[in-house]
Structure 1
Amino acid sequence: MPFACHEIEAEIRYLTTDEGGRRRGVFSGYRGQFHYDGDDFDGFQFFPDAAEGEMIEPGTTVRALVRFDKQRWDQIHVHAITVGMPFLIREGSRTVGQGTVTRV
C-alpha cells in the first residue's frame, strides 16, 4: 500500500557551511525537519527541477515539493501551513535551510 501523503510546494535555500548549513548537499527524498511555530515535523523534500540523482549544493535555492504524512497533515498542518509562510529546515537543533511556502 503506498504512503498516504499531502504535498506542498516551497522555495528552499540550503545554507552554506559558512552559514551553519550542511557540508554536503541533499538529494531528492531528503528528510530534513520542517520547522515552524516552534516545532519540527518530518517533511520529505523532492526537487522536480533537478535531474535524477542530482545533488542540491549548499547555497542553492530550489523549488521543492515537501511531503507530509496525510494523517499528520489532517491533524496538524491543514490550517497552520499557508502560502507565503516562512519556515526552516533543521537537522536536530541546527538550521540547514530556510524557505517559503508557495503552494498548499
Structure 2
Amino acid sequence: MPVPHDIEAEIYFLPPEHGGRSSPAFSGYRPQFYYEGHDWDAPHEYSDVEKVNPGEKVRAYLGFLSPQEHVGRVYPGMAFLVREGNRTVGYGVVKKILDLEKSAARAVQNK
C-alpha cells in the first residue's frame, strides 16, 4: 500500500556507532515521528533512492496514521526525531506540508 504524502521531510539516519540502525531503511519503513513529547506512527517513502543506509541523509514522504492529530501542529522548518521505540535513530526537518489536510479530512470522515 502506498504511503500518503502528508509531508515532505529531510531525514538524517544516525550511524550505528551513534545509536542508529545497523541496517538500511527502505520505503514502507514505519518508525515513530517524535515531537512535543509524543511518538506518532508515520510510514516513510523514499522516492529518490532504493534504500537509505545509516549515516545518510534522504528526502522522504511521510504519511501519518492519525493525520487529523497533526494539522496545525506540524509546519515547515519543524525539527523532529525518528525513533524505534524509545531509541532515536535519526533526525528530521519538515520541508513541506503536502496532503496532510486531505488525509485528515478523510480520516475524520471514515470514523
Return 5+ residue gaps in structure 2 as ranges: 98-111
Structure 2 distance, partners of 1:3, 1:23, is 25
Aligned to 2:60: 64
The 5 A counterparts of 1:1-104 are 5=4, 7-50=6-49, 54-69=50-65, 72-74=66-68, 76-104=69-97
Q: For the structure 1 residues 79 and 27, does the alpha-carbon distance in structure 2 shift closer, same or farther, using more than 3 Å as the test?
A: same
Q: CA deviation at 1:68?
A: 1.1
Structure 1 distance, partners of 2:72, 2:29, is 24
Q: CA deviation at 1:55?
A: 2.1
Contact 2:28 2:44 in 1 (8 A): yes
Two-structure CA RMSD over aligned residues (Å)? 1.7
Runs of 4+ in 1 over 3 A off after TM superposition: 2-6
Query: Of Structure 1 and Structure 2, which has the larger fraction of its residues in strand?
Result: 1
Q: What is the number of equivalent residue pairs in this alignment?
A: 97
Q: Percent identity, aligned pairs only?
A: 45
Q: CA deviation at 1:81?
A: 0.3
Secondary structure at the aligned position of 1:102 is classed as strand
TM-score by length of 1: 0.87
Structure 2 distance, partners of 1:26, 1:3, is 16
Q: For the structure 1 residues 97 and 5, does the alpha-carbon distance in structure 2 shift closer, same or farther, using more than 3 Å as the test?
A: same
Q: For the structure 1 residues 47 and 92, does the alpha-carbon distance in structure 2 shift closer, same or farther, using more than 3 Å as the test?
A: same
